[in-house]
Each structure stands twice: as structure tokens, then as C-alpha cells.
Structure 1
Amino acid sequence: MNLKKLLALGLSLTMATALLAGCGSTNDTSADAGSAGESGDTSAEQVVIYSNADEEAITAMENALDSNGYEGQYVFQTFGTSELGGRLLVEGTNLEADMVTMSTFYLQSAQDQNDMFLPLTFDVNTLEEVPDYTAPITSQEGAIIVNTEMLAENNLPMPTCLKDLADPAYAGFVAVTDVQSSSTAWLLMQALVSEYGEEEAQNILHDIYVNAGDHVESSGSAPLQLCEAGEVAVGFGLRHQAVAAKNDGLPIDYVDPTEGNFSLTESVAVLDKGDATNPLAMEMAQCIIENGRAELQQNYPNPLYEGESSDNANKSAYPKTFSEPLTFELYEHHIEISEAAKP
């Protein structure tokens, strides 16, 4: 995709963010949220952190910072992935944030376009090589989510693979996420394309969308919430969230699809603002990685760093990696397949 097209997409996403901001599309959290205020006004000393992370990850990062002397010195502002991605691509180093935690593929595209992040000054001993301006905080996998009570009440079989969700037997009982609005759905797209090829993946996705009807959602957590509420019997979402719901005693279970549990990482990066760079941002990034991973792994069990391991009970059955590097351009291509699949 050329630069002009990338800028146009980023601008549209940023405009959408601005329009939605008044409706509560962003959220501020911090160890001293009262001092930041609802408007997001922060003192010069506070590190502004923009993030697309889930609540569980935000809490773990806040705990790491607070317990290591940074309480009251930062503020988190949370966004949807597409919203924050648009800001990164369009605003570059003009972004208000001093630090971001974001889907790694978006960070890489933003760096390629805007050269906006500093090389990290601390050791990042990851199991796989990563760009020198990123340090992964989480690895998130997708899975099929089911409401076991609804399956039984409606005599529906337990699905074993994503292709099962295209079976007309599940019509009206399915919820999925639109990849155009949430990267969670990209985990489903990667699995379908990897297993069946693009043409057949589009056909299967079409039938899944037909079964989902009005429940092709914009939020990655919506399918789980709909399963929890008993509005649908089957969904696709983040595996760790389904595990937590099951452990909480809800009638929720999860199925590792035979096509594979694909994953996306989210990473921390520090903005290069020249003389205006907040020196605490790099310190806090290091603190999150060195002191936050133990708690982060409780919800996101995939090992990312040397010396880490995963509880066998939390391991997915079919972990897989897409055959091509995960880039913004590949993401856009899979969005095109998804759009063509819509009824």
C-alpha cells in the first residue's frame, strides 16, 4: 500500500476517533487519575501513556509502576486498536503520548512511516527477535467461545474448528468481530487463510457472517459478552478472556480450533520527541517489562522472554504462526477479504 493511501486511512481513523471521543471512546486510568481530570489534562512531569491494552494488562502495568516508585507520575489513556493506530500513523511524534503500548504490527508501520520511536536503552531478551524500539508486553491468542447451557438447550454440537461456525445449524447463534474495526478478528482471519487459502477462507467467512447476522461486532470482547449474556451460543474472541470467564464459574467454555490458535503481540515503545522527550518514559517502559511480566503472564500465558515458561493448563492446543510477517499491509489485505465476504 502506498504512503498516500496509508495516510488517507490513518486520517479517516483519526477523524473517527475525534468524533467518538465525546461519546466515551477513550478512557483515562492512572495511579492518580484525579489529578489528571476527565479532560486528560496532565502535569508536565506525568508520563502520558496511550494504550490499546485490555483492562487486565493495564492493571498489571499499573501495579508494576506503582510498586516501583512511579505512582502518580503517569496517566494511561486507552483507545481501540484502529483508533490508536490512526493517531500513530497520522500524528507521528506530534502525538501527545510519551509512551505507547500497542499491537506490534501497528508500531512497525508507524515507525516505518514516521520514524517516531527511540531505540530502547535496556536489554530486551526475547525468545524471538524484535525491532530495537519495541518490547512485547503480551501475546494474545484467539479461540472459539461457547455458552455450554445454550448449546445444550438448543441441541447444538460442540464446535471443533472455525469452519464449523459456517454450518447452518448455528444460524442466529454466532457472534464474531469485524476485522475492519478490531484486530481480534485478524486472529480468525489468519487461521482461515492459513488453513484453507484466501478463496475458500472468504467463502467460509461469508457463511459465518450469515450465521452471525447482526452480531458481526466492532469490539473484540463483544462475542464473549454476548455468550456470557446468553444472547448467542458460540463466538470467537480472545482465549485468555474465555479462560477467565470459565474460571469465574460462568457457563462458558473455550475450544482451540484445529485451524490453529494464532496470536498477536502488543509491545511498548517510547516516542522520540527530541529535547521534549520525557526521560521517565524510558524508565517506565523498562519497569513494565522487568516487573510486570509475572502478573501479565497470569492472563497472557505465552512465554515471550528468555527464562519464561507457561503453565501447561493455560497452553493452547494448536499454537501457530502465520506464514508471512504480520504487517499493516497484510492486515489491510485481510480486511479486503473480509469485506468481500460480507453478505
Structure 2
Amino acid sequence: MKNSKWMMFGTMSVAVVALVACGGAEAGSSEQVIIYSNADDEAVEVMESTLDDKGYKGKYVIQSFGTSELGGKMMVEGTDIEADVVTMASYFIESAQASKSMFVDIASDAKPLDDGVTYALPILGNVGAIFVNTDVLEQKGLAVPKTIKDLTDPAYKDLVSFPNIMDSSTAWLLVQAIISEYGEEEGQKVLADLIKNAGPHIESSGSGPIKKVKTGEVAVGFGLRIQAIDAKKEGLPIDYIDPTEGNFTLTESVAVVDKEGDEALAIEIAKVIATEARSGLLEQYPIALYEGEQVQDEHVPAYLKKWDTALTVDLLEKHQAFFKEAQR
């Protein structure tokens, strides 16, 4: 759910070597699994520590991409992609499988709540929310917002930050909530007013808004709920609000690329990420994805919602067009 952190210079092997220099496994090993991921730093750290603890240190490297960049590679390259394992927004994995048939089945005893698919296992759930800097709200004499629409009040001019859906899928949580609650006609006006209020604070990264709320550059942001929960635990003057329009969710899953029968180690690693790393990921992203999982009451969003149809790349592109129209 973040922007690309690695620029694609030269060949992909150069990028892998760069990662190795930062502490990854030795490049060139025939037993080395290449993992492409769009996950946030916190999730990557959980995956790495779990894999290392389970005896896979030196047998994998992880390369990070933005959602759009990695999705584009999957849709263009299919099974020719260099990665052996992909952790990615579930809707992109499903769209890539429908278009390219690029993933193999992963047998698992784990039972996803949404019944899942045979070729991918969910690993984490992102949920959107409003978050505020309580000190800045008090200094500016602003009311605590209860809805996304509240943020269109001119009183919040230049004091609101949220991600750009053209760059970050975190913004899709915002757009889904607006369209679901207000429809496309009224929703277009709500989004246009929100864009106007944000001014220069529409961010290319999903973590951009929480950074600006933490520093007090803006009073209010929209992003991942867990970001505000973590900031509040750190003792910062940050609080989070579940907007009545809904806490929409996006899941990320792990899948194994079809390498014509040479996937045994990749499947092992994918299963470790989906099962053994799940407890750590659930702490960071407290959304139950499997039968039997429990989330602490304080972390359960008040208005948890899902889009009423399957999330697809086509739907994302439609909502991106909706966003661009509101910018005019």
C-alpha cells in the first residue's frame, strides 16, 4: 500500500544485488526465492523475521514495489516475471490470474473467511480511517470530524491530507467510502470539495498523511487506521475516527508464480508467510482473515464495510477516473 521504494535501473539482477548489499541473501543461489512485495515496511519486517526464524535465512530476497508498479509488471509479464513469490493486493493477484494464469495452487489447511481462492492465501487486511492531531484541532478551533464529508467544510482548508488514488491504493479506501455513501453524483461533489480543501496535501504515498498529521503540518488525515493506532500508542497527540461512511478494507495475499514445476521452495516460503507470520501481521493489521482469529475489541473498526462487488483492476481504473474528474 505504498509508493515504489526502488527505482528500476538497468537489469533486475542489479536491483537484487543492491538488496543483497543491504543484508539479503547471497545472489545467484539456485535455492534462492525472489519475493516481490507491495507491502509496507512493517509487514516486510514481520515476513523477514519469521522466515529467518523458521530457517529460511539466505534462501530468499524481498524486493519492494509500489502497488501500481508491481501490478503493471504482473499484468504485462505474467509467468515471465522474475519473482517466484508475490505478496500483493488481492485484487491485483486475482486480476493477474484471470488474465495470465500465472500462479500455481497452494494447498493449505487454513480457512479464509471469504472462502479464498486456490492459488493465493491472504496475509493482511488494511482498513481506512480518519486520524487527527488533537493539539492542532484545538489550536485551530476545529471540531473533531465524524465523517469524510465533514472534511469538506472550508474551516479545514489546507489542513487535510490524503493519498492520491493514482499512486496509492490506500486512497481507494477513501473513494470507495465516498461512492458507497453518496453515490456517484453527490460523491463527485464531496470528493471535489475534499480535493480543494487538501490543496498541496494530496500525497503520492499512503504514509504521507500520517506523517503530516504527526508533525502538525495538517490537522486531519485519511489513511490506514493502524498508522494512527500506532502513533497514539507512541504518546503522540493523535487520535483516530471511524467515519460513518465506512471503514473499507483491502486485503493483501501471497501467491507463487508458475515456474513449470520448480516451485517447491517458493511454496514452502509462501505458506510460512501466510501462516507462521500471520500472528505478527495480525498485530500490525488487526483485521481477521481466517476462521478462529480474534481481534481485540479496541481495534475493531466501528463501521467495517466491503465493496458490494469483487474488487478488480477494472473497478480501480473506474474509480481512478472518478477521482480525476473530481480534480477538474
Q: Same fold (TM over 0.5)?
A: yes
Provide the residue aligned with 1:111 in structure 2. 97
C-alpha distance in 1, partners of 2:24/2:80? 25
CA-CA distance at 1:20 after TM superposition: 3.9
Instruction: Decide whether the 8 Å contact of 1:146 with 1:254 is kept in 2.
Output: yes
Deviation string, structure 1 residues 90-129 (Cα, Å, up to 9, x no partner): 1111111100000000001111111100011223311111
Q: Which stretch shows the higher mean deviation, 298-307 or 101-110?
A: 298-307
Q: How does 1:174-189 map to 2 (within 5 A)?
A: 174-189=160-175
Provide the residue aligned with 1:121 in structure 2. 107
Provide the residue aligned with 2:136 in structure 1. 150
Provide the residue aligned with 2:79 in structure 1. 93
C-alpha distance in 1, partners of 2:326/2:217? 24
Deviation string, structure 1 residues 31-66 (Cα, Å, up to 9, x no partner): 982544xxxx44222111000001111111112211
Residue type of the partner of 1:33? G
3-state DSSP of counterpart to 1:21: coil
Q: How does 1:228-239 map to 2 (within 5 A)?
A: 228-239=214-225
CA-CA distance at 1:248 after TM superposition: 0.6
Provide the residue aligned with 1:168 in structure 2. 154
Provide the residue aligned with 2:208 in structure 1. 222
C-alpha distance in 2, partners of 1:224/1:90? 33
Q: Which runs of 5+ in 2 are unaligned?
A: 10-14
Q: How does 1:62-101 map to 2 (within 5 A)?
A: 62-101=48-87
C-alpha distance in 2, partners of 1:167/1:151? 14
Name the count of aligned residue pairs.
Answer: 321
Provide the residue aligned with 2:23 in structure 1. 33
Identify the match of residue 301 of structure 1 among 286, 297, 320. 286
3-state DSSP of counterpart to 2:268: helix
Provide the residue aligned with 1:270 in structure 2. 256
Normalising by structure 2, we get a TM-score of 0.93
RMSD across aligned positions (CA) = 2.2
Going from structure 1 to structure 2, the CA distance change for 1:29 and 1:141 (only over 3 Å counts) comes to farther
C-alpha distance in 1, partners of 2:220/2:252? 26
Residue type of the partner of 1:123? D
Q: Which stretch shows the higher mean deviation, 99-108 or 51-60?
A: 51-60
Instruction: Decide whether the 8 Å contact of 2:121 with 2:274 is kept in 1.
Output: yes
Deviation string, structure 1 residues 237-276 (Cα, Å, up to 9, x no partner): 000111001101111111100011000000000000114x
C-alpha distance in 1, partners of 2:185/2:247? 21
C-alpha distance in 2, partners of 1:18/1:240? 21
3-state DSSP of counterpart to 1:264: strand
Provide the residue aligned with 1:21 in structure 2. 8
C-alpha distance in 2, partners of 1:188/1:214? 18
C-alpha distance in 2, partners of 1:123/1:72? 27
3-state DSSP of counterpart to 2:247: coil
C-alpha distance in 2, partners of 1:248/1:101? 28
Normalising by structure 1, we get a TM-score of 0.89
CA-CA distance at 1:278 after TM superposition: 3.7
Provide the residue aligned with 1:261 in structure 2. 247
Instruction: Decide whether the 8 Å contact of 2:213 with 2:220 is kept in 1.
Output: yes
Q: Does residue 279 of structure 1 match 2:254? A: no
What percent of counterpart residues are identical? 49
C-alpha distance in 1, partners of 2:80/2:56? 25
Q: Does residue 320 of structure 1 match 2:305? A: yes
Deviation string, structure 1 residues 290-321 (Cα, Å, up to 9, x no partner): 21111111111111111111100111111011
Q: Does residue 342 of structure 1 match 2:327? A: yes
